[in-house]
Amino acid sequence: MADQPKGPSLKEQFWDPVAGFGVTFRTMFRKVVTEQYPKEKFPTAPRFHGRHQLNRWPDGLEKCVGCELCAWACPADAIYVEGAENIDQPDSDGISQRYSAGERYGRVYQINYLRCILCGLCIEACPTRALTMTNEYELADDSRASLIYEKSDLLAPLLPGMEQPPHPMLLGNDDDYYRGDFKGAEQ
Ligand code: SF4
Ligand code: SF4
């Protein structure tokens, strides 16, 4: 005949629940570690990899030359770039169609934050330091479409002394830009 299963031992019936409450009571008097996010936000480490930024030269021209190296380096296929030629010849309204200090610029630039794992390989691949990462980490949303950031969402703001492209290269020729040898402007 098979053995009957034994019931819980005296230790399991009486001591184990008391021991469990002991852990609860001990924890009640410890320092609270709950973070009151989002009411209280703490700064990240300076090199934290957050949202990307497309940087500008001191005259406002875009540093991105539309080379797509960032897109090729991305292991998650999260970046989409379409490059286009800069045109120095003014159009019929007399406006130069130059957006960057290179031959080309990023006409379309998108990062899909549903795919991005914030690894930073794209910023390592960028030859002009056009692409860097900020400390901004609040990237949650309830809409898939709004998590695909367009160029306008990623471009650095215009600082004092910068002009909104398109406009000609105001700081010298393209070599001057890449050497940082600007005429009459702070970097
Ligand atoms: S951080 Fe990584 S995953 Fe995100 S876009 Fe750059 S390379 Fe792709
Ligand atoms: S961000 Fe950098 S790597 Fe990416 S397309 Fe622009 S210049 Fe090229």
- 115-144 in b/e form (b: 16+ CB < 10 A) is ebebeeebbebbebebbbbeeeeeeeeeee
Ligand 2 centroid from CA 37, angstroms? 34
pLDDT tops 50 at residue 84: yes
Assigned token pair, 129: 């330091």
List 79's β-bridge partners, or say none. 111
Assigned token pair, 31: 């320092």
pLDDT tops 70 at residue 151: yes
Which residues are CB-contacts of 54 (< 8 A; sequence separation ≥ 6)? 62, 63, 64, 106, 109, 130, 131, 151, 154, 155, 156
Ranking 2-11, 47-56, 74-83, 113-122 by mean pLDDT, the lowest is: 2-11
Contact criterion met (CB below 8 Å) for 154 and 110? no
Q: How far is Cα 38 from Cα 41, in angstroms, rounded to an integer?
A: 6
Ranking 63-67, 92-96, 134-138 by mean pLDDT, the lowest is: 92-96
Segment 18-28, tens digit of pLDDT: 988 998 999 99
pLDDT tops 60 at residue 4: yes
Cα pseudo-dihedral 172, 187, 85, 95, rounded to 10:
-70
Is any ligand 2 atom within 6 A of the Cβ of residue 81? Answer: yes
pLDDT recorded at residue 128: 95
pLDDT tops 90 at residue 104: yes
Ligand 2 centroid from CA 183, angstroms? 25
Ligand 1 centroid from CA 76, angstroms? 7
Q: How far is Cα 125 from Cα 148, in angstroms, rounded to an integer?
A: 21
Q: Which residue shows structure tokens 């005259």? A: 59
Residues for the chain: how many in total?
187
List 149's β-bridge partners, or say none. 111
Average per-residue pLDDT for the chain: 92
pLDDT tops 70 at residue 185: no
Q: How far is Cα 131 from Cα 112, in angstroms, rounded to an integer?
A: 15
pLDDT recorded at residue 79: 98
Q: Which atom of ligand 2 is nearest to the CA of 79?
A: 4
Per-residue pLDDT band for 187 (boundaries 50, 70, 90) equals very low
Mean pLDDT on 37-59 = 95
pLDDT recorded at residue 73: 98
Mean pLDDT on 165-180 = 91
Note the pTM of the prediction, 2 decimals.
0.82
Ligand 2 centroid from CA 94, angstroms? 28
pLDDT recorded at residue 1: 54
Q: For a substitution probing ligand 1, which of 51, 109, 119, 153 has the most ligand atoms within 8 Å of its CB?
A: 119
List 148's β-bridge partners, or say none. 112
Q: Which atom of ligand 2 is nearest to the CA of 68?
A: 5
pLDDT recorded at residue 12: 86
Q: For a substitution probing ligand 2, which of 126, 133, 149 has the most ligand atoms within 8 Å of its CB?
A: 126
Residue of higher predicted confidence among 155 and 19:
155
pLDDT recorded at residue 74: 98
Is any ligand 2 atom within 6 A of the Cβ of residue 171? Answer: no
Q: Which residue shows structure tokens 């819980």? A: 8
Going along the chain from its start, the domains and CATH numbers come out as 51-179 (3.30.70.3270)
